[in-house]
Structure 1
Amino acid sequence: MILIKDSTVVDGTGKPGERADILIKDDRISAIGKLGSQKTATVIEGRGLISVPGFIDVNTDSDHYLSLFTDRGQHDFLLQGVTTIFGGHCGSSLAPLLRGSLQSIRKWGDTGAVNVDWQLMDEFLATLDRLKIGVNFGTLVGHSTIRRALLGEDARDLTARDMEAFESLLKQALDHGGFGLSTGLAYNHSRHTPYLEIKALTDVVASRRGVYTTHLRSEAEHLLESVQETISIAKESKLPTIISHFRAIKGSEAQFEESVELIEAAAAEGVPIWFDAYPFDYSMLPVYMMLPDSIRVGSLEHMLAALSTSHGEGIVYESLPRLRVADLVIARAPGFDYLVGKTIGHFAESNELNLKQALLKLMKLTRLRAVLFYKNINFDITSKALLSERALVASNSPSLVEGRNVIENERAKNTFSRFLEIAAAQKKTIEWSVKKLTAVPAGVFNIPHRGLLKEGAIADIALLSSPVASSSRAYTGATHVLVGGKQVVADGAFADVYNGKILRRT
C-alpha cells in the first residue's frame, strides 16, 4: 500500500481542491479522506503539494520516432506528470503492417532501429505488453499506413475492392484495440484523399465508438476550408473528432481565429469536435514538407530526383519562404549528427551560402530525411486558443534519450507545466486546468477508470509543487508520480520503474 499524506487533492471534476490523504492498494485508489496512519503503507508526504490525476497527452510522436523502444521509460512525459499518451497520429501508426514495413514513419524515425516482429494490431500491442514501458499507451490506426500497404506509392483513388479491403483491415485493427482512425491529409500519400473515402472510413470508426483525428489538408493558406471539411465529417459521422496540432501559423492568424470560432460554434450545436495544441512557437516537421506542391509528389526518392534537376531546384528555391537565421534549427539529420542543434543561419555561414541555398543543400545532403524545428507559430494567438473549451493540450512530441543525433525538444519536457502557467496567468483555476488535462481527454477517448481521483479509480497520480506554497507561479514538473499504483517518479527523478499499461479500446 501507498499513502499520500495531507496533499491538496484536485480530483479532475473541476470542484475545489481539498486537503486529504489518498490510500492506494495494488493499482487502485482505495480511499480518499482523513485516513490517519496506515502501518503497512509506504508514506509519500504531500504537505504543500497538489495531487492530481495523471495527465493525458492525446497527441505524441513516441511511436513515430520509435522511442517507445529506445526510451522505454518515456521519462520526459512522466517528469511533467503525464501518465498516459496516445500515438498513431497524422495517418501513421505502427500497426497494422501488411508487409512488415514501417514505410509510413520513415520521415520521422530510423526504421532500421527496430526489429519488426508483428503485423496486426493485436500483435503490436502484445509486443509492447512484453516490452514494458513507463507510461500507459494507446494508439490510433493510421490511414496512410493502411493505404500505402494496399496501394504502395500510388496515390490514386481507392476502387470498390480496395475500399472493401481497407474497411476490413480497419475493423480488425479497431477490434484488436485501436482507439480510432487518424489521417495526415497534408502529407504526400493522403493529400488527395477524397472526402467520401474519409466519410466511409469514419462511419466504420463510429460503429466501433472510436475517435477520429486529423492533420488538416492545409494549416495555413486554405485553413478555413480544411477546418470546414473536418467539421462536416464530425457532424455527419457524429464521431468524436480532433484536429491535430492546431496552431496559428504566421501569416494565417486571421483564418486561425475564425476557425476557432467555427469550431466553438459547431460544438455549441452538438458537433463533437475538438482540437489539440501546444504552448510553443515552433513546429517540428520533416524537411520535405517545405517543398512546393509541384515537387512534393510521391516517395522521398521521387521528390529527391525532382529536386536534383536544375529546373526543380529553381522551383523550390523560389517557393521557399523568407527566413531569418534562427527560424530553422536542425533537429535530426541522419548520417550527419554534427549538424544537430545548428541553426540554418550557422549552416549557411559555414557553407558560404544564403539561407535558401543552405536549406536546399540540407535537403539534398540528408536525402530529404532531416527534421527541423521551425519558428512559424504566433505564440500569443495559439496560447489564447488553448484556453478554449474545445482545446486539448498535447505535446505532439516524442520522449527521446538525448544524444548527439537528437536535439532536446522542450515540448516533450514542458508542455503541461507551461500550460498550467499560462492558464494561471489568465486567472483560470487549477481545478479548471486539471480537468482539461485529465477528465476531459479521458472522456473523449473513452478511457475507463482514468482521469479522476476517486475511490476505485486506477492510481495514476501526479503530485505537483504548489505555486502558492512556493511563492511562485511556476509549475516546474511533478515531484512524485504513480502509474498503476507504483511510484515511477520520486523527488523529481525517474525511479526506473516501468508500470505503464498498453491500452485497448473497449
Structure 2
Amino acid sequence: MDFSSNRYNSVFDVDHWCIYADFTLYRKVETEKNKMKFLTYLFSLFFISCTVPTYDIIIKNGQISDGTGAKLFPGDIYIRGGKIIQIGQIKRAVAEKILDAKGLIISPGFIDMHTHSERRSLDFPTVENYLQQGVTTMVGGNCGGSPFPIGEFIDKTEKMGIGPNLALLVGHNTVRREIMGTENRLATEKELNQMRALVQSAMDDGAFGMSTGLKYIPGAYSNTEEVIALASIVSKNGGFYATHMREEGIGLLESTEEAINIGRQANLPVQISHHKAVGKSMWGNSTKTLDLVNKARSEGIDVTADQYPYTATSTTLKVVFPAWSLSGGREALKSRLDDPDQRQKIKDEIVWNIVYDRGGGDPASIVVASYPLNIEYNGMNLAEITQENGYDPTPENAAEILMNLVYAGDGSGIYHCLNEDDVQQIMKHPQVMHASDGSTIEFGRAQPHPRNYGTYPRVLGKYVRELGLFPIEEAIRKMTNLPASVLGLTDRGKIKKGFWADLVIFDPNTIIDNATWKDPHQYPTGISWVIVNGTISIDHRIWTEKVSGKVLIHTP
C-alpha cells in the first residue's frame, strides 16, 4: 500500500473509523529503521482504533418505549448512518454527539396518519409545527384531496427538502375533479375507467393508498360502487383505503357501515379518518360505531381509525352548506345565492346544520379560523360576527351572515360540536391511533385549530399523565407502531436494531400542549430532542436548521 499517494493523503479508512495522519512526516523519514518504527506506530493506532466503536449519536441513560406497547426498559441507543445500530450498552463507544436522557423516555418518532401537511409543505418545508410535537412521519393526501400528479409533487419535495418524513395518499376528490370537474352526477363507465387509470398512476408513483372525502365536493356526488371500483385498484397494489366518511353526525352509523363494506367488497384495509360523533343528537353513538369496527375485525376486515384529542373539528366554512349548492364551483354557488328561492333552500339547510349537526346547536359554536378578506373575523364566533353586523345571533340570522361571508370569499372554521365522553371512548380503543388532522402552519398567522401544535403532547400530558386513561406505553404504540403497521412500514415505528433512527426524547412528567383556542400558535413543552433519520431536528424547542426528512414510497 502506497501511503504517500494522493488517495491516502489525509484519511486512512478502515470499516467505520478514520485515522487522521500527516503522511508528509512519513516522506521525511530517511532511514529504513525509522520507517519501520513509524509503520509500527501507525498500525498500533490502527489496532487500538478498531476496538473503539464510533457512532454519530449515542443516547444514554434513558427509558426506552419501543413502540410495541411493552413496558419501559433502560438502555442506550447507538446511531450511525441514519439508523439504529445497537440497543444496550457498549463499552468505550464514542460519538460525535452524546445525549443524556436521564429521567426521559426515548420513543419512536410519532407517525401522524392523518394530516394535510402537504398543502403548504413546499412553502414551509421545515413543517416545524409537526417537528415540535414529535412527529417524524406525516401522511398527507387525506380527506379526498391530494397533490396531482403525485410523482411531480414528490420530485419537488425531494429537491426542496422536508422536515419530517412524508407519505402520500391519492385523493378520490382530486381524481374525480380531474375527470368530471364538480358535476353533481354519477360517473359513466368511460369516466370510471379514466379514474381507475389515474389511481393506478398514483400508486405507481408511490402512493400508499386512496383517501375519500365523501362529505366534500365532488366526492359527495359519488355512489358506493364508484368508490369500490377505485379502491379495488388500490387493493391490487397492496394499499389501504382512508375515509372521511359521508356523514359523521346524523347518518354516522350508516356511513360507518358503508366504509366497512367498501373494505369488504374491495378487499383492502379501511382507515376511518378523525373518528367522531358530530352534533348533540349523535353524542354517545361512538359505542355503536366501535362495535361495528369490532364486528368487522372479527369478520376478518382490517378496520382501524384515527382521532384527534379535542372536542372541536375544523374545516371549510362551506361544510354546513348543502352539497347540491356547491356543484359547479364558486360562481355557480354565487348564482344560487343570488336567486331568492334557491338562497332560501340553502339557508334552511344551513340552519338545520347549525342546530343539529356541525354547528353544535349554537352559532357561537362556530369560530372563524381564517377569513383572508377580513382578518378581524379570525378568532370570532359566528354569533359575535352576526351581532357586529347588527342582528340577533339566531341560527337564521347567523345563516344569512355565513352565506354573505362565503359569497364574498373562502374561509375556514372551528366547530365546537363534539363530546368529551365520545373523545375518550374512541381514544381508548386499541385500534384507534392518535392523529392531528392538521396542516403545515405559518407561525403566528390566522387562528388555526390548536391540534396543529399540540396533538401528541396533549395525549401524553392530559390523557395519559393527568387522566390516566391508558398507560404511556399504549399511547406510544398508538402513535408509532400501529400507524406504521397500517402503512406497511417495516423499518420505522419501533426502536429496533436496523430501523431508521426516527426518535422523540421527552419528559413524561412535564410534556404538555400549550396551544389554546385563543392563542393556538404555541409550541409544546417537555420534548428535549426530535431525531429524524438519525439527524437532530429539534433540540430543546429549537429547530437545528436541519431538514432531514424523506418522501416515503410505497411499493406493492
Q: Normalising by the residue count of structure 2, what TM-score does the alignment of the two structures yield? A: 0.82
- Please say if 1:212 is aligned against 2:222: no
Secondary structure, aligned partner of 1:274 = strand
Q: Is the helix fraction higher in 1 or 2?
A: 2
Give, in whole Å, the separation in 2 of the partners of 1:435 and 1:496: 29
- Please say if 1:84 is aligned against 2:137: yes
- Please say if 1:93 is aligned against 2:146: yes
CA contact (8 A) 1:81 1:481 kept: yes
Encode CA deviations 1:298-338: one digit per residue, 9 max, x unaligned: 32222222123333333333331245463121111122222
CA contact (8 A) 1:224 1:256 kept: no
Give, in whole Å, the separation in 1 of the partners of 2:487 and 2:221: 28
Match for residue 447 of structure 2 among 404, 407, 428: 407
Give, in whole Å, the separation in 2 of the partners of 1:293 and 1:41: 57
For 1:303, the equivalent position in structure 2 comes to 333
For 1:33, the equivalent position in structure 2 comes to 88
- Deviates most, 79-88 or 406-415: 406-415
Shift of 1:10: 0.7
- Please say if 1:478 is aligned against 2:527: yes
Shift of 1:126: 0.8
- Please say if 1:458 is aligned against 2:500: yes
Match for residue 540 of structure 2 among 478, 491, 497: 491
Shift of 1:151: 1.3
For 1:262, the equivalent position in structure 2 comes to 292
Coordinate RMSD, CA, aligned: 2.1
- Please say if 1:273 is aligned against 2:311: no
Encode CA deviations 1:223-250: one digit per residue, 9 max, x unaligned: 1111111111112223111111111212
Shift of 1:5: 1.1
C-alpha change, 1:427 and 1:192, in structure 2 (3 Å) is: closer
Encode CA deviations 1:344-380: one digit per residue, 9 max, x unaligned: 2332222112334345334323435110001011122
Q: Percent identity?
A: 29
Secondary structure, aligned partner of 1:6 = strand
Give, in whole Å, the separation in 2 of the partners of 1:137 and 1:429: 28
Give, in whole Å, the separation in 2 of the partners of 1:170 and 1:472: 40
For 2:458, the equivalent position in structure 1 comes to 418
For 1:286, the equivalent position in structure 2 comes to 316
Shift of 1:427: 4.8
For 2:345, the equivalent position in structure 1 comes to 315
Give, in whole Å, the separation in 1 of the partners of 2:404 and 2:160: 37
Match for residue 263 of structure 2 among 234, 237, 242: 234
Structure 2 alignment gaps of length 5 or more: 1-55, 356-360, 515-523
Match for residue 231 of structure 2 among 194, 199, 202: 202
For 2:29, the equivalent position in structure 1 comes to none
- Please say if 1:225 is aligned against 2:254: yes
Secondary structure, aligned partner of 2:384 = helix
CA contact (8 A) 1:277 1:395 kept: yes
Match for residue 376 of structure 2 among 311, 315, 338: 338
Q: Normalising by the residue count of structure 1, what TM-score does the alignment of the two structures yield? A: 0.89
Give, in whole Å, the separation in 2 of the partners of 1:226 and 1:34: 51
Shift of 1:296: 4.0
- Deviates most, 195-204 or 356-365: 356-365
Mark the structure with the bigger radius of gyration: 2
Give, in whole Å, the separation in 2 of the partners of 1:122 and 1:134: 19
C-alpha change, 1:155 and 1:472, in structure 2 (3 Å) is: closer
Give matches, 1:377-396, under 5 Å: 377-396=418-437
Give, in whole Å, the separation in 2 of the partners of 1:363 and 1:129: 41
For 2:198, the equivalent position in structure 1 comes to 169
For 1:329, the equivalent position in structure 2 comes to 367
Secondary structure, aligned partner of 1:444 = helix
Give, in whole Å, the separation in 2 of the partners of 1:309 and 1:54: 53
- Please say if 1:8 is aligned against 2:63: yes
Encode CA deviations 1:111-161: one digit per residue, 9 max, x unaligned: xxxxxxxxxx22210110011110100110011111111112323322222
Secondary structure, aligned partner of 2:437 = coil
C-alpha change, 1:71 and 1:471, in structure 2 (3 Å) is: closer
Shift of 1:281: 0.9
Give matches, 1:240-255, under 5 Å: 240-250=269-279, 251-255=281-285
Give matches, 1:37-116, under 5 Å: 37-63=92-118, 66-96=119-149
Encode CA deviations 1:20-53: one digit per residue, 9 max, x unaligned: 1111102101111123453333111100110000
CA contact (8 A) 1:278 1:394 kept: yes
For 1:438, the equivalent position in structure 2 comes to 480
Amino acid at match of 1:315: K
Secondary structure, aligned partner of 1:191 = helix
C-alpha change, 1:471 and 1:181, in structure 2 (3 Å) is: closer
Encode CA deviations 1:145-202: one digit per residue, 9 max, x unaligned: 1111111232332222222222122111101101111111111312131222111111
CA contact (8 A) 1:395 1:412 kept: yes
For 2:33, the equivalent position in structure 1 comes to none
Whose RCO is larger (CA < 8 A, sep 6+)?
Answer: 1
CA contact (8 A) 2:183 2:327 kept: no
Matched positions, count? 477
Secondary structure, aligned partner of 1:381 = helix
Shift of 1:7: 0.6
Give, in whole Å, the separation in 2 of the partners of 1:442 and 1:472: 24
C-alpha change, 1:318 and 1:279, in structure 2 (3 Å) is: same
Give, in whole Å, the separation in 1 of the partners of 2:476 and 2:511: 20
C-alpha change, 1:351 and 1:299, in structure 2 (3 Å) is: same
CA contact (8 A) 1:363 1:370 kept: no
